[in-house]
Structure 1
Amino acid sequence: MAEIYQKLPPPVLGGLILILGDSGPLERKSEFILTNYGSSNVVRQLVRMIEEKQTSPEEILLVFDSFKAYDIVKPQSQISLVWSGPNLHGVPMRMTAQVIIDLIDNATTELFLSSFSFYNVKEIVDHLSIAINRGVSLSLLLETPQSSHYKIKNDPIAQLDRELINKAKIYIWPYKNRILEGDNQTGSLHAKFILQDKDKLFISSANLTQSALDRNIELGVIIGCHDVVEKFQDHLANLISENIIIRL
């Protein structure tokens, strides 16, 4: 029944629920379903199950309602909190450093990381090297002294080993792309995120620095909702294609 539910387009599903919930005779329901939706193999399979008494309209409605309720709750349950700072007993939140390492270690196809500051995190660099050696495509969006017009002093590229520099796609937001007309002020690349395999998006207040991971109070979320992650990935792709962020 789960497979049938997943294959039904929402308009067809809504129509079936209305017909099956009607108080008319079973034969009339089957006829009405086939007349309106009989071109679908899945619908014909469902009618056949009813006619052969493998299930009943009441049972189908109960199952469909359960799946609909799950679909509503599922996107909400795909958001979890991530924390850096004092660990309070009885409050279940994952720690930032471990979440970052888990996201890197569990990536199978690609990782896209961004951080304003990237400094003194050898353990994370080591895990990135392992990931790239097992075939994971790695992209990094980093703030450099030059691109920030020396708002920061530490060069994140110097934190990477030679293999990562050669194999990873390293992006910056160029200084020339930041100046607003009639305004001498420029923006900062302040987004901190990890995009894993087009499946998960981790957004955090924490930079990729030892202080942010070990000493600061930082808060983040992991988002597993496919629509949200896909929309963000499309946004990144547009930033690259429009040369707003460029590859070094």
Structure 2
Amino acid sequence: MSRKRFEAAAATAAASLGLTRTKALATLLSQGRSPAYILGRLQTPAALEAVSELLASMTEDGVPSAETAAYLRGYAAAWTRRREDTEARAVWSGPSTPGTPGRSTAQVLTEVVGAAQHRLVAVTYSARSYAPLTAALSEAVARGVTVDIVVETLKGAGGLLSGSEPGDAFSRIPGLRLWHWPTGQRPTPGSRLHAKLAVADDRILFLSSANLTAAGAERNIEAGVLLNGGPMPGRMADHIRELQRRGVLARWPGA
């Protein structure tokens, strides 16, 4: 029997939830919980649509809850095995020397976006329209990737950023979801959203000093590390999802 809708929905839900919450969903399903109870317990805004589609596909394709739970645990086990091996590479932009790592910030940034098949999350302090990145993000959304960008606001920067809102750099990408750190959620005045990173499918993590700008990608001296596999990409993505769930990170005003 063909179960294409279910199989596709399970893959999307697992990718949206990440390892920890995929296991939690499997547990709720194995307990025979109702769809309303499951959606209420997960409270993961970035994944509610994907989980709702999975629950609907179970009914349409006649897949029992226990079987779905086992299916999801299979995904989790595969991720765990894959995470045991980590490949780390240095990334550098700026003046080179004979020992300079061969991969530039601009190259790696677009490659990470291009590698995402299910979910991409990126965090940046400053952002300005940068054509190669805009094209890569647009293509990711078009192929069905859930793209979340967390960016600082002019208000949050407290006068340290000028010009248009950093979030405006992504305004021409339909379907991209924009997030920020509300000032009311910050522990003290003057706290900044200063992280710069990108995670693709909980398996590739790019940590960098570079903002999502042309200057950060091509002109400045910037350094970073690219991790492929291992536990860190998933843990970082899980952390961001939890901040979203708790409301520490909120959707961009008007989004």
TM-score by length of structure 2 reads 0.61
Q: Which has the larger radius of gyration?
A: 1
Matched, 1:175 2:161: no
Once residues 103 and 112 of structure 2 are traced to their aligned partners in structure 1, the CA distance between those partners, rounded to angstroms, is 12
Matched, 1:202 2:206: yes
Q: For 1:155, give the aligned amino acid.
A: E
Seen in structure 2, the aligned counterparts of structure 1 residues 231 and 239 have a Cα distance that, compared at 3 Å, is: same
Tell me the equivalent position of 1:54.
none
Q: For 2:180, give the aligned amino acid.
A: I
SS in 2 for 1:93: coil
Q: How does 1:1-248 map to 2 (within 5 A)?
A: 75=85, 78-153=87-162, 154-162=164-172, 164=173, 166-180=174-188, 185-248=189-252
| 1:179 Cα deviation after fit | 4.3
SS in 1 for 2:157: coil
Greater relative CO, 1 or 2 (CA 8 Å, sep 6+) = 2
What number of residue pairs does the alignment pair up? 169
Unaligned runs of 5+ in 2: 1-80
Give the CA RMSD over aligned residues.
Answer: 1.9
| 1:223 Cα deviation after fit | 1.5
| 1:90 Cα deviation after fit | 4.6
Deviation per CA, 1:149-204: give whole Å up to 9, x if none.
Answer: 44312312322243x2x411111001111142xxxx32111000000011111000
Once residues 144 and 82 of structure 1 are traced to their aligned partners in structure 2, the CA distance between those partners, rounded to angstroms, is 27
Q: For 1:199, give the aligned amino acid.
A: R
Once residues 90 and 146 of structure 1 are traced to their aligned partners in structure 2, the CA distance between those partners, rounded to angstroms, is 41
Once residues 191 and 210 of structure 1 are traced to their aligned partners in structure 2, the CA distance between those partners, rounded to angstroms, is 17
SS in 2 for 1:207: coil
Alignment check: 8 A CA contact 1:148 1:175 kept? no
| Overall identity of the aligned pairs, in % | 30
Once residues 102 and 130 of structure 2 are traced to their aligned partners in structure 1, the CA distance between those partners, rounded to angstroms, is 22
Tell me the equivalent position of 2:35.
none
Alignment check: 8 A CA contact 2:130 2:214 kept? yes
| 1:84 Cα deviation after fit | 0.6
Seen in structure 2, the aligned counterparts of structure 1 residues 97 and 110 have a Cα distance that, compared at 3 Å, is: same
Deviation per CA, 1:120-169: give whole Å up to 9, x if none.
Answer: 4122112111111111110000011133344312312322243x2x4111
Deviation per CA, 1:27-61: give whole Å up to 9, x if none.
Answer: xxxxxxxxxxxxxxxxxxxxxxxxxxxxxxxxxxx
Once residues 246 and 114 of structure 1 are traced to their aligned partners in structure 2, the CA distance between those partners, rounded to angstroms, is 13
Alignment check: 8 A CA contact 2:91 2:101 kept? no
Q: For 2:222, give the aligned amino acid.
A: E
Once residues 101 and 208 of structure 2 are traced to their aligned partners in structure 1, the CA distance between those partners, rounded to angstroms, is 17
Alignment check: 8 A CA contact 1:179 1:186 kept? no
Once residues 178 and 190 of structure 1 are traced to their aligned partners in structure 2, the CA distance between those partners, rounded to angstroms, is 13
SS in 2 for 1:224: strand
SS in 2 for 1:167: coil
Unaligned runs of 5+ in 1: 1-70
| 1:86 Cα deviation after fit | 1.3
SS in 2 for 1:146: helix
Deviation per CA, 1:96-139: give whole Å up to 9, x if none.
Answer: 00000111112111110111010141221121111111111100
TM-score by length of structure 1 reads 0.63
Once residues 125 and 144 of structure 2 are traced to their aligned partners in structure 1, the CA distance between those partners, rounded to angstroms, is 26
| 1:209 Cα deviation after fit | 1.4
Once residues 167 and 179 of structure 2 are traced to their aligned partners in structure 1, the CA distance between those partners, rounded to angstroms, is 11
